[in-house]
Structures are given as structure tokens and as C-alpha cells.
Amino acid sequence: MDGTTNTGGLAITRTENATGGCYAAYIQGFEAVMTYSRPDEKTLVIHHTGVPFALRRLGIGQALVQRAVEDARAEGRTIVPVCSFVRVQMARHADWRDVLKR
């Protein structure tokens, strides 16, 4: 499912193909991204989150994860957080754990 959604006041674009996809936010000429694969129809494996140094500490990485959580809920999917940043965010947000694949 491709599209742009506002998450936490930030426009985040999602592009997806048959095997995975990417969430991206464009701010002040910079791009923040989070990439994932889909080993099956019900699982998102998040591999990487990248936020440029100039945009760090603005909550952009967290907004990318939040969008993935919202999408996973809406689509009946679970998340496998391979990315260390996503693992930490999932641990910090107990309300997101319902989509965490166990």
C-alpha cells in the first residue's frame, strides 16, 4: 500500500513492492527513511532506520516507527524489529507491542 499520511504532524510517504518497502519523510531538504522486507503477507521485518544528523532529536525516527505500527495494525501484520533503533522504540512504547512478532 503506497501513500502519504501525517503521523505526529509529519508527512510520511510509504512505497511498497512485492518483497518490501520504505517509509520516508522529507524535511528541510533532507530525507529520513526506514526500510523493511516482507517475508510473508503478515510480517514486516524492519531492517534500517536512517535520520540525517541535522534532523536528529526531532522525533522523526520515532514518527517513522509509529507509522509502521499504525499500518501494521490496520493491515493485520506484525513487526520484526531487526533495526536496533526500532527495537528500542518498541521496548519504550508498551502500547505498540501488540504488533510485535513474538
Query: Which residues constitute the domain of residue 44?
Result: 3-99
Which domain CATH number covers 18?
A: 3.40.630.30
Cβ–Cβ under 8 Å, residues 89 and 96: yes
Q: What is the pLDDT, as a whole number, of residue 102? A: 82
Q: What is the CA radius of gyration of the chain?
A: 12
Where are any strands of DSSP class E within 1-102? 3-7, 10-16, 20-27, 30-40, 43-50, 78-81
Domain count, the chain: 1
Tens-digit pLDDT profile for residues 71-96: 999 999 999 999 999 999 999 999 99
Report the pLDDT averaged over residues 36-58: 95
Strands across the sheet with 10-16, in order? 3-7, 10-16, 20-27, 30-40, 43-50, 78-81
**CA–CA gap between residue 31 and residue 102 (Å, rounded):** 31
Tens-digit pLDDT profile for residues 8-30: 578 999 999 999 999 999 998 99
**CA–CA gap between residue 15 and residue 22 (Å, rounded):** 5
pTM recorded for the entire structure = 0.90
